[in-house]
Amino acid sequence: MQLNQIQTLFLKHQETALFHRYITNKHIEPLLESLCNKTKVETLGKSVLNNPIYGLQIGDGHKRVLMWSQMHGNESTTTKALFDLLNALLNDTALKVILRSCTLYIIPILNPDGAKAYTRVNANAVDLNRDAQNLSQPESTILRGIFNEFKPHFCFNLHGQRTIFSAGAKNKPATVSFLAPAQDVACTVTPTRQIAMQLICKMNEVLQVLIPEQVGVYDDTFNLNCVGDFFQSKQVPTVLFEAGHFYNDYEREKTREYIFVSFITALHHISTTEITGLDYEAYFEIPENQKYFFDVIIRNAKIKLNSKEEIFDIGMMFQEKLINERIAFIPIINKIEKLSSYYGHKEIDANGLEVLDENMNMVEIGSENVFVIINNEKITLF
């Protein structure tokens, strides 16, 4: 399928009811209701706080694909892309080949309590992606139950990642990242992993046209408590998707498009190709994610330490806060030191001048600063 066709599908079928970063059951329930007459929608069970966890099935092909999103409640980009995907699959004849070849089972929000509170963990403060062995949480039990019942041939484990990640050790954000999880401690490149790697190679090939050098892979250290590693160990090819940062896209609306492109590319490849796993070696050419970014770096700031003035850089990360059902991005100073090995998504040159807060005091580590003052000029940081 041609890239321009996929981009047209996104523009045509993007779900406009979902936007920005705060996505909960409240936002998706009207959409699921409208889908009831088009596909199978069901309540799989309840979360810790008794919120429903929904699942839906689409397609009637023999290749079964299990997809779940918002296992971490504050990682919503892939959920938006899932509803874009559903709109396209249900309303565009160009994608009928996928529905003829595949049956998809989708859990749009696995962790509704975490989604509502905008936290990574569930209501018991458990990271569901470290609960694959213990199954101590109802959400984990629900996912495992669907895995056992649906018996997928492929699993797509859908996540979002922080803005700190670069695609390798360079000034390129990891806008989309992948992983073919290990299935043993030795990280053996098994036939199952090779199939996952081949899918990632196909998606990377397409994404390089849109976001060159902005695709990364994660370290594959094995942890059987992680859901992806566990499913891979059960001989089911599993791909981790991570929706990351694109320039000035803190709402993750551009990244949403790249995730949609990845979904269509992978599903079309599964539908039209007998994936052998032999074409996997390009996976190892994708750079590994590194932590080389701050949201903002103020370069060459005059800082007074121990009565001595020196020139340092100021590194800031945005703290995401839920305020009135919307996510606000609050700049927090994390480091004041030489940051020559790091990059900022936004960079400001202080030119050797003092950097002051709104009260005209020298900025400090840990402080919140919506703006700073340099040479009597107010500079907004977000």
The answer, yes or no, to whether residue 307 has pLDDT greater than 90, is no
Structure tokens at 7: 């981009």
Mean of the per-residue pLDDT values of the chain:
96
C-alpha–C-alpha distance, residues 177 and 215, integer Å: 5
Domains of the chain (ranges; CATH) run 3-291 (3.40.630.10), 293-380 (2.30.40.10)
Please report the pLDDT score of residue 306 as a whole number: 77
| Rounded average pLDDT over 128-146 | 98
From the list 293, 331, 300, 328, the residue with the least C-alpha distance to 314 is 300
Band of pLDDT at residue 12, cut at 50, 70 and 90: very high
Predicted confidence (pLDDT) per residue in 237-268, tens digit: 999 999 999 999 999 999 999 999 999 999 99
| Rounded average pLDDT over 132-152 | 98
The alpha carbons of the chain give a radius of gyration, in whole angstroms, of 22
The answer, yes or no, to whether residue 285 has pLDDT greater than 90, is yes
Beta bridge partners of 42: 55
Please report the pLDDT score of residue 301 as a whole number: 96
pTM of the model: 0.97
| Rounded average pLDDT over 114-137 | 98
Predicted confidence (pLDDT) per residue in 318-332, tens digit: 999 999 999 999 999
What are the C-alpha distances in Å from 78 to residues 156, 188, 242, 303?
11, 28, 8, 41
| Rounded average pLDDT over 187-206 | 98
Which stretch of DSSP H or E encloses residue 310? strand 308-323
Please report the pLDDT score of residue 304 as a whole number: 84
Predicted confidence (pLDDT) per residue in 333-349, tens digit: 999 999 999 999 999 99
Please report the pLDDT score of residue 382 as a whole number: 87
Please report the pLDDT score of residue 308 as a whole number: 85
Percent of the chain with pLDDT over 90: 96
The answer, yes or no, to whether residue 305 has pLDDT greater than 90, is no
Give all strands (DSSP E) within 200-292, no chain letters. 215-217, 238-243, 289-291
Of 18-22, 68-72, 171-175, 363-367, give the lowest mean pLDDT range. 363-367
Please report the pLDDT score of residue 349 as a whole number: 97
Band of pLDDT at residue 82, cut at 50, 70 and 90: very high
